[in-house]
């Protein structure tokens, strides 16, 4: 299995139903990629997009389990998550994203490439 780890900016594109999100979805389907969403990313997007129409666009994360996968921070060793949270200046969500990318060897779809390069030097990023 291979795929992409989505950061907040990438998932906001899905909530906003942009052409970028459509292109990412098509590419993922074409190449049988999994889109991995840390639960903290989903929570931040819900907070940023409180309207029902935005949230409805995120339903595939729950329903299309062949393409979408959710991850909880509790799946990470506590000490490791704490260490990466410190590297991310206290951003637990970014730490979780970085750890998932590191563990799986998957790129991060983000607008915060410099942050992720600092947390995990050499991690591949895809602009969101």
Secondary-structure percent of the chain, ordered helix, strand, coil, rounded to 5? 55, 15, 30
User: CB-based burial of residue 26 (10 Å sphere; 0-12 exposed, 13-18 middle, 19+ buried)?
Assistant: exposed
**pTM of the predicted protein model:** 0.94
**DSSP conformation class of 51:** S
Tens-of-pLDDT digits for all 128 residues of the chain? 899 999 999 999 999 999 999 999 999 999 999 999 999 999 999 999 999 999 999 999 988 888 999 999 999 999 999 999 999 999 999 999 999 999 999 999 999 999 999 999 999 999 99
Count: domains in the chain? 1
Give the CATH number, domain containing residue 7.
3.40.50.1010
Range of the structural domain that residue 44 is part of: 3-127
């Amino acid at each position: 299995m291979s795929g992409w780890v989505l950061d907040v900016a990438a998932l906001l594109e899905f909530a906003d139903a942009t052409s970028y999100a459509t292109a990412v979805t098509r590419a993922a389907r074409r190449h049988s990629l999994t889109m991995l969403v840390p639960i903290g990313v989903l929570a931040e997007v819900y907070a940023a997009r409180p309207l029902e129409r935005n949230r409805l666009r995120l339903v595939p994360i729950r329903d299309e389990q062949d393409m979408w996968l959710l991850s909880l921070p509790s799946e990470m060793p506590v000490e490791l998550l704490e260490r990466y949270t410190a590297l991310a200046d206290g951003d637990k969500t970014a730490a979780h994203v970085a750890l998932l990318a590191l563990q799986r060897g998957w790129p991060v779809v983000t607008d915060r490439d410099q942050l992720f390069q600092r947390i995990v030097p050499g991690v591949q990023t895809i602009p969101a």
